[in-house]
Amino acid sequence: MPITKPKGTYDVLPTDSWKWNRLEVVIKKVCRLYNFKEIRTPIFESSELFHRTVGETSDMVTKETYDFLDRGGRSITLRPEGTAGVARSYIENKLYAEGNVQKLFYMGPIFRYERPQKGRTRQFSQFGVEALGSSSPLMDVEVIAFSVTALKALGLKGIKVRINSIGDEESRAKYREALVEYFSQYEEELCGDCKNRLAKNPLRILDCKVDNNKEFFQNAPKISDYLNEVSQNHFKQVLNALDEMNIKYEINPNLVRGLDYYCHTVFELEADIEGFGAQNVVGGGGRYDKLIGDLGGPQTPCVGMAFGVDRLLIAMESEGLLKNNNEYIHCYLIGLGEKARVVGERLLYTLRLGGLICDADYLNKGLKGQFKQADRFNAKFTAILGDTELENFVINIKNNETDEQETIPMNDLYKYIINYLQSKTASPCSTCSKKEGE
Ligand code: AMP
């Protein structure tokens, strides 16, 4: 039996990998616009990091992590989210010493042992940003604005921003009491998980996909009635700035997000994809002012968000934004005969050193087969080298855009192609269309 991929994982094949690349290029450009700088942290960390940050009561840590002992007997966890690693690195590398806000972004694989379904896999990819060091409500706004700009840059339209405030610790403590009192009356009707949550972390009940359709759920106390003045002010300033920027949002009083470390602003971004159910949430984030301090670093207010890259791609696919990969090569070399193939390989080496994308045939195909391959690669030029050309140090070159063909000195090949490409980029329109496919 051939070996197959582990359950809940997928291969990104060459037919699709350009979509990932395009998305990365676009979001990284938006990161530049907001001056977020990349940070790369390990995909595995000490298990303790996630237990201390994400929280002992979150499903993600109690049920969904990939934990193992390494050969040295250390307890290791494949990262189930990106923030904890960034926070650990911020402290370990004393990034706070600069005294500035650290605006960071990361991208990479995330691992959660969940029940696989469309838009939910066990290895998936997140693109996230974290702003560490500012308690300003405008920092929350900046992170939300980044998310909206990224979605716009990707071309996604039917996007909704859902937002809520879960307040500071004092507000949440009062709210927690109210929730316990309220849900205790319905304890018998709560699902098994929520019975547990009632004792350990009642806010999570609001997140429950099983209980949230039950009638008693609708009348549960709302956090907005428990926010103290500081929390109310923070939230008001966030909303005012979003209004000022004309960024549309919907306040969802039941939005609490699944992790223990959040406070004040929490938000989610939802794509409007038919038949997508709960998996239409393409990203989410919020403020986490206690995390760095809890991990032993200096008290550092932070706010961040993460996109599910896989879901962004599904959303883009469903909006027809990923139809054309525009991939091309500059030159396909057809070598006719053994000698021509060797000389051809040398010519291609020179072209590539000069920055041109080239390919040739390595299966001894005939002339027709090689022309077909040039077409498949969307070659801008096809260079043809046979015995006669070799004898005369010339090469046949066909411009596949204009269908013009001519014979030129072999050594002029690079100059010939470059001159043509440069003449094209002189026109602003061709420049734009070319950039899109790169
Ligand atoms: P979270 O850290 O749970 O807020 O997740 C951030 C984003 O990652 C979500 O909004 C989803 O788009 C995506 N995501 C979360 N879990 C999965 C999963 N199992 N498979 C694919 N995408 C996921």
Residue 294 Cβ inside 6 Å of ligand 1? The answer reads no
Give which of 83, 48, 106 is closest to 258, Cα–Cα: 83
The pLDDT assigned to 258 comes to 65
Q: Is the CB of 282 under 6 A from ligand 1?
A: yes
For the cut 60, the answer to whether the pLDDT of residue 430 exceeds it is: no
Among 201-210, 241-250, 355-364, where is mean pLDDT lowest?
201-210
Residues 36-90: pLDDT tens digits? 999 999 999 999 999 877 766 677 777 789 999 999 999 999 999 999 999 999 9
Q: What is the mean pLDDT of residues 201-230?
A: 86
**In angstroms, what is the span from residue 268 Cα to ligand 1's centroid?**
11
Q: What would the mean pLDDT of 376-390 be, rounded to a whole number? A: 96
In 3-state terms, what secondary structure has residue 193? helix
Is pLDDT at 436 greater than 80 in this prediction?
no
Nearest Cα neighbor of 6 from 56, 78, 59, 72 is 78
Local confidence band at 438 (pLDDT 50, 70, 90 cut-offs): very low
Strand order in the sheet with 405-409: 358-360, 329-335, 379-385, 394-399, 405-409
Q: Which two tokens stand for residue 332?
A: 């396909």
Give 288-357 as a DSSP string.
-SSHHHHTTS----EEEEEEEHHHHHHHHHHTT--S-----EEEEEEE-SHHHHHHHHHHHHHHHHTT--
Look up residue 100 and give its two tokens.
């500035």
Q: Where are the beta strands (DSSP E) in 73-179?
A: 75-78, 102-111, 123-132, 159-165
pLDDT at 248 over 60: yes
Task: Looking at the CA of residue 307, tell me the nearest atom of ligand 1.
Answer: 7
Top mutation candidate among 10, 64, 124 for ligand 1, by most atoms within 8 Å of CB: 124
Model confidence over 151-178: pLDDT tens digits? 999 999 888 999 999 999 999 999 999 9
Of these ranges, 18-22, 50-54, 198-202, the one predicted with the greatest mean pLDDT is 18-22
Report phi then psi at 86, rounded to 5: -65, -40
Average pLDDT score, the chain: 91
At 110-129, the pLDDT tens digits run 999 999 998 899 999 999 99
CA 207 to chain centre: 23
Q: According to the model, what pLDDT value does residue 211 have? A: 76
* Protein residue with least CA distance to atom 11, ligand 1: 308
The answer on pLDDT for 333 being more than 70 is: yes
Question: In this predicted structure, which of 60-74, 268-282, 334-348, 363-377 has the lowest mean pLDDT?
Answer: 268-282
pLDDT of residue 257: 77
Phi, psi of 189 (to 5 degrees): -90, -10
Which residue's alpha carbon is at the smallest distance from atom 10 of ligand 1? 283
Q: Which of 280, 284, 267, 306 lies closest to 27 in space, CA to CA?
A: 306
Determine which residue's CA is closest to atom 17 belonging to ligand 1: 120
Q: What is the pLDDT of residue 433?
A: 44
Length of the chain: 438
Q: Rounded to the nearest whole angstrom, what is the distance from the C-alpha of residue 324 to the centroid of ligand 1?
A: 26
Q: Give dist(CA 130, CA 36) in Å, integer.
A: 8
Whether 212 has a pLDDT exceeding 80, the answer reads no
The answer for residues whose C-beta is within 8 angstroms of residue 389's C-beta and 6 or more apart is 340, 395, 396, 407, 410
Range with lowest mean pLDDT among 55-59, 60-64, 202-206, 308-312 = 55-59
259: its two tokens: 């992790």
Asked whether 308 lines ligand 1 (CB < 6 A), one says yes
Ramachandran angles phi, psi of 82, nearest 5°? -100, -20
Q: What is the mean pLDDT of residues 176-192?
A: 89
Cα–Cα dist 316/295, whole Å: 37
Using CA atoms, how far apart are residues 83 and 353, in angstroms rounded to an integer? 40
